[in-house]
Amino acid sequence: MAKGPRPERVPSVVGTVAAVIGLMDIAAGVFPRFRFSRIHALAEVLPGAVTQLAAAASIVVGILLLMLAHGLKRAKSLAWWAAVIVLPVGAAAHLVYRHSIAGAVFSLLLFAYLVRHRNAFTALPDPRSRWKALANFIVMSCASFGLGWVIVGSHPDQMVGDPPVLEQAEHVLWGLFGFEGSVRYTGGVDYIVGYSLGALGLLTLATTAFLAFRPAYPAAVLTEEDEDRLRELLAKHGERDSLGHFALRRDKSVVFSPSGKAAVSYRVVSGVMLASGDPIGDVEAWPGAIEKFMELAKRHSWTPAVNGCSETGGEVWTRETGLDALEMGDEAIVEVADFSLSGRSMRNVRQMVKRIERNGYTTKVRRVGDLTPEELEVVQKAANAWRDTEEERGFSMALGRIGDPKDLDAIIATAHKEPEEGEDLPFGDLRAMQHYVPWGKDGSSLELMRRDRSADPGMNELLIVAFLQAAPELKIKRMSLNFAFFRSALERGGKLGAGPVVRIQRAVLLFLSRWFQIESLYKFNEKFRPRWEPRFIVFPNSRDLPRIGFAMMQAEGFLELPRLLRRRPAPPRTDDMENERVEQAEVTRAA
């Protein structure tokens, strides 16, 4: 006996059908000949396919169906409600306007199919989006109706007869939905008025659908209690992962295992629930935290992904969730005991550091807690002033703050040079800085590098060497540098005898290095002779990789959406935090 699609496949099937119909409707509106083709004749039996409506109505319905399809594919409960309301209306439209019994039957069958599989559409909407969508619909509808009335009455000389006010209002109402009203014009004004009304209706529906079906983007809810719990876990298990301290970013959220012995920090970006690094805490409790993470992603229909986990973390993630993993690059780790400036391999770094020191530069390496308030204020102001972007970059290897009272064990390395005569510098003799966050009890991770643009080249090399030389006194045994993305592909592709596939990969990476720091980061890290630790991306399917990559670049600050499309998370509020805790408690009880 033939079986229907699996429950998890139902949203995808329904969403695909809606998307196909939407594309047909858009094509029918944009290309007039399509409405008379055999393909469109076959589409007569599909719900939402329009033939007798104006071109504007076709575009309106098509875009609405495409937006609805996205929500259905993501199993959004709000999209399900919209579909079960729209489909009976579509069936009535088939009977009233097309006299198509087949189309009405198909609509009702699809309606029954959705009702039967109601449990497949459980993803929660964003409450803020829902109310914004309703408010947008009311405001835009009123504005469109008023503007449409003005448009209908703005051509009295071309209007046939003298239609009463009620008939003009009816014409506006039908026109907003793409139908032709009863008012007639001469000289081709019918098309101008019709397209104008249709465009107003399109704008109203498109903006409302966008607000209703866009993925939830919750406010950051890393409360003080959550942060304290994370710090306790890091104090016990922080040496496992060099990225552990970055879980304390306050624009991240966190989900804990039922035992409270492990946690996963994350941020939602463009519908992707993006974790970074390994779970925090006891490895034995990682599966519980991962399970809670996946439950929350499923409940909101977010795409789960992990950015930059270790090999051990990747094995646990893939084993517990069935997700796939892909090597994204390598992390450069320098062992303090093995570092030395002597030897031929370190000649370039040694010569650069000596040259800079001869030019009058000095360095200081101290705990943040050892800086005076005045020194810390200068460092903070300089870090903001020397930033080359409007907003702070970073997600997986960035903390986003310097000098927080809870981060006094972090380390600041600074480069200084007295201003020359007549030289006016806003930050005195400070010329460059680096900020290192704790990695367990005896390690540090490089978090930030900033320099004055007028400073000599080589400031980063100078400060890294100064840090490594001061590390024994600070009881630091290891240091984590930057990621080198796709390092192995760059290295293998440049070796003698490399195959054509590897050479092509290397050529593509070198081409992309013109815009992104791929090759330059690899070469910079390689100067310090580190050991390389592979890092991985964990993802559901290969088709999700472009979307996850886009979300990762947004999170790291390399891509910014236009301001009209950008959604900033609201500042944390007490009710937001409480709702999130209640929601997570409900997930635990359901499990």
Tens-of-pLDDT digits for all 591 residues of the chain?
444 455 557 777 777 777 776 666 555 455 554 444 554 555 555 554 443 343 454 455 556 667 777 677 777 777 777 777 766 766 665 555 444 566 567 767 777 877 887 777 777 765 555 677 788 888 888 988 888 888 888 878 778 888 888 888 888 888 887 677 788 888 777 777 877 887 788 788 777 877 766 655 555 567 889 999 999 999 999 899 999 999 998 888 899 999 999 999 998 887 889 998 899 999 999 999 999 999 988 888 888 999 989 999 999 999 999 999 998 888 999 999 999 998 888 999 999 999 999 999 999 999 999 999 999 999 999 998 888 665 556 677 888 889 889 999 999 999 999 887 767 788 888 999 999 999 999 999 999 999 998 888 899 999 999 999 999 999 999 999 888 877 877 777 777 677 777 788 778 878 877 777 777 888 888 889 999 999 999 999 888 888 888 888 888 776 665 443 444 443 333 333 334 444 444 433 333
Question: What CA–CA distances, in Å, run from 385 to 222, 230, 463, 519, 535?
Answer: 27, 31, 19, 27, 32
Judge contact between 98 and 45, C-beta under 8 A: no
Question: What CA–CA distances, in Å, run from 183 to 159, 163, 166, 257?
Answer: 7, 7, 11, 65
CA distance 12 to 79: 13
Q: Which helix (H) or strand (E) holds 149?
A: helix 127-152
Q: How far is CA 591 from the centre of its chain?
A: 27
Nearest-5° angle of CA 246, CA 249, CA 251? 140
CA distance 221 to 253: 5
Two structure tokens written together for 37: 């083709």
The residue whose two tokens read 């008012």 is: 183
Judge contact between 25 and 178, C-beta under 8 A: no
State residue 251's pLDDT score: 84
Question: What CA–CA distances, in Å, run from 175 to 139, 310, 581?
Answer: 18, 58, 47
CB atoms under 10 Å from CB of 395, counted, come to 24
State residue 126's pLDDT score: 56
Could you tell me which residues come within 8 angstroms of residue 476 by beta carbon, excluding any fewer than 6 positions away? Answer: 336, 411, 442, 443, 444
The residue whose two tokens read 């690059």 is: 329
Count of CA atoms in the C-beta half-sphere (13 A) of 34: 14
Residue type, 351: Q
Look at residue 393 and give its three-state secondary structure. Answer: coil
The residue whose two tokens read 């997986």 is: 396
CB atoms under 10 Å from CB of 4, counted, come to 11
Q: Which helix (H) or strand (E) holds 512?
A: helix 500-512
Question: What CA–CA distances, in Å, run from 431 to 377, 386, 392?
Answer: 15, 10, 20
Strands (E), 147-261: 253-256
Closest C-alpha to 234, from 306, 291, 282, 289: 282
State residue 130's pLDDT score: 62
Judge contact between 244 and 280, C-beta under 8 A: yes
Judge contact between 591 and 291, C-beta under 8 A: yes
